[in-house]
Amino acid sequence: MGVVMPKVRNPLEPMSTAVTGVLTLLAALMGMGLLASLFADNVHVLSIGEKFICATDANTRIGDDGQPSPDFAPAPGATFTTDAHPEYCTEAPNTVQSLLNTATQLAPFIFVVGALLLALWVIRGAAREGLYTTQTAERLRRLGWWLLAGSVLTAIATSMAEKALIASLSLDSDISAVLGLLSWDVPFMAIFTGLGVLSFARIMRVGITMREDLDGTV
């Protein structure tokens, strides 16, 4: 009688299913959003074509009296809301304001989708060629750099777009896109995750080299 080998579970699960599921869900939501935007005015994808735009200056706090000052004067066609932070809104955005508003959402979206696609590339390559291969280690290294550098660049780009949008909605000359280079939120989680992936990729390359050396001595 032949020996029945037990079925080996995929070592890349549940990550493979999770990444594929999230990408499928994002694609479905984008498709439905684009389709719905053709028939409904209040449905927008990544704020494209949105007619009511608001931007909050999170780096500035309003005084305890909650009253606006000349420093927070809105631009023509924009409104001002007093809260913990000044908020500027407009119901008639121009082309530049619409593009800046879209950029604040498009940059993070591209980063997330890129990370998921690279993760899927790593997973499928590892399933096809094996976990401990030079190709898998290289793909993992590229994923790590995307998480590390991509998260920082995304945070800076988003911050600059937000500050440029605020500048276009207010008369405060102190606010500009350049300010976004100094006041962006550091994505600590993505940075440390990227560093961890890069370290694991380096460990894999060292292990692969050692295995190749041992195979050569046998």
Residue 10 pLDDT more than 70?
no
Judge whether 151 and 145 are in contact, CB under 8 Å.
no
pLDDT in tens, 74-118: 777 676 665 667 888 888 888 899 899 999 999 999 999 999 999
pLDDT in tens, 179-212: 888 888 899 999 999 999 999 999 988 888 877 7
Predicted TM-score (pTM) of the model is 0.79
pLDDT in tens, 164-180: 998 888 876 577 888 88
Residue 67 pLDDT more than 70?
no
**pLDDT, average across residues 57-75:** 61
Supply 73's token pair. Answer: 């004067």
